[in-house]
Structure 1
Amino acid sequence: MPRRHPERHTERLWLRQWRDTDLDALAEIDADPEVMRYIGDGSPGTRERTAAALARVRSGWDERGYGLFAAEETETGELVGWVGLAVPAFLPEIMPAVEIGWRLRRRSWGRGYATEGAREVLAFAFGEVGLDHVVSICHVDNHASARVMAKLGMTLDRTTHVPTHGRPVHVMSRSRNP
């Protein structure tokens, strides 16, 4: 039986579960080359890849009791992206691990949404989920995400390369009691 999935609220965001109607907005975010520049191999996503990823995210909530929240701007009701927890299996050297991450549409960058949403997700991770430690991973040139990680109290654990595409990444980490 599927679990009841949590929702969280911040001052400006509603972190909620995914709806079928979110696919178009998420596919638009994933298709933006600037948004995807530091994600995976750097190539923009297709609607099909986004749909498959969204299906995995939704089933992951049932399997693990955590996952990626849809991040909706409360003032406008628009999907601005996502923020949440995932298992970073793409980086085997740090496993087992849980990663906190985010992806926002470009027009929402620079407004503090990533930090605001991630702070709420950290509280969820260390509280309801009961994690003792989380990581966050970003391309070495993704200075904006690195700043968010620093604001969350994360520190550099290591710099390494993702095996599937060889791109260099920083692995930041934080424990429940820093």
Structure 2
Amino acid sequence: MSGDGGTVLETGRLRLRRFTMDDVDHLVELDSDPEVMRFLTGGRPTSAEVVRGEHLPLLLGQYARHPGLGRWAALDRITDGFLGWLALDPSADGTEAELGYRLRRSAWGGGLATEGARALVRHAFDVVGVRRVWAETMAVNDRSRAVMARAGLRYLRTFHLTFDDPIPGTEHGEVEYELRRDEWPSVRQEWDAALRAR
């Protein structure tokens, strides 16, 4: 952890910092890309009013309620440019965290989501001490599912929800992946061995 108060952690290529109300434009721009929002809203953007009045106040409130968990801006460590966000969204009691990520399309395909997700999984278990990290996405979202698997989570189930305005692919259901605290040591050992072998 950095001493600047806002930085949560750094990886080889990423710096994760707390959001502030100054990030409205960053989030609106991120959510304005139809491809970024394809599996979330069917491509519909999020308005500045919703980001400013709902999303950011909720995120900022989590930092105090659940230290070490929350949603953070993902920045390029070299340029400090905004790339998107990564998250460990806390459960109501803070004992579980939902892994999440949303990056600009220009940041896709280079392993940044996996790099950030692995760092957050390690942080969740080794620093915060959660009992479970989980994630879910649409069953047809192959890219997101691949990140979950590379971040050490394993497929748990497919389930179906009812939506008033379903988006294409909803009929195939949602999937949930998870990693539990008792499974984490073997995953960490595997990752550490891979690092030593480089």
Q: TM-score range by the shorter chain?
A: 0.7 to 0.9
Distance 1:20 1:112, change over 3 A: same
**How many residues matched?**
169
Counterpart Cα distance in 1 of 2:117 and 2:77: 16
Q: Per-residue CA shift, 1:2-41, capped at 9, x if unaligned?
A: xx66610000000111133322121101121110111256
Distance 1:162 1:80, change over 3 A: farther
Query: Are the counterparts in 1 of residues 136 and 177 from structure 2 also a CA contact under 8 Å?
Result: yes
Counterpart Cα distance in 2 of 1:18 and 1:87: 16
Q: Greater shift after overlay, 43-52 or 67-76?
A: 43-52
Query: Are the counterparts in 1 of residues 159 and 175 from structure 2 also a CA contact under 8 Å?
Result: yes
Query: Are the counterparts in 2 of residues 133 and 173 from structure 1 also a CA contact under 8 Å?
Result: yes
Q: Name the SS of the counterpart of 1:103 in structure 2.
A: strand
Counterpart Cα distance in 1 of 2:38 and 2:46: 11
Large movers: runs of 4+ above 4 Å: 163-166
1:175 equivalent in alignment to 2:175: no
What TM-score does the superposition give when structure 2 sets the normalisation length? 0.77
Counterpart Cα distance in 1 of 2:6 and 2:75: 16
Q: Which structure 2 residue ranges, 5 or more long, are not aligned?
A: 184-198
Q: What residue is the counterpart of 2:190 in the other structure?
A: none
Q: Which structure 1 residue ranges, 5 or more long, are not aligned?
A: 90-95
1:31 equivalent in alignment to 2:36: no
* CA drift at 1:176: 2.4
1:15 equivalent in alignment to 2:22: no
Q: What residue is the counterpart of 1:63 in the other structure?
A: 65
Query: Are the counterparts in 1 of residues 134 and 177 from structure 2 also a CA contact under 8 Å?
Result: yes
Q: Name the SS of the counterpart of 1:153 in structure 2.
A: coil
Counterpart Cα distance in 1 of 2:89 and 2:45: 20
Q: Name the SS of the counterpart of 2:79 in structure 1.
A: coil
Q: Per-residue CA shift, 1:150-169, capped at 9, x if unaligned?
A: 11121111111345556421
Instruction: Report the RMSD for the aligned CA atoms in angstroms.
Output: 2.1
Distance 1:64 1:104, change over 3 A: same
Counterpart Cα distance in 2 of 1:163 and 1:99: 21
Aligned-partner residue type, residue 107 of structure 2: S
Q: Name the SS of the counterpart of 1:34 in structure 2.
A: coil
Q: What residue is the counterpart of 1:149 in the other structure?
A: 148
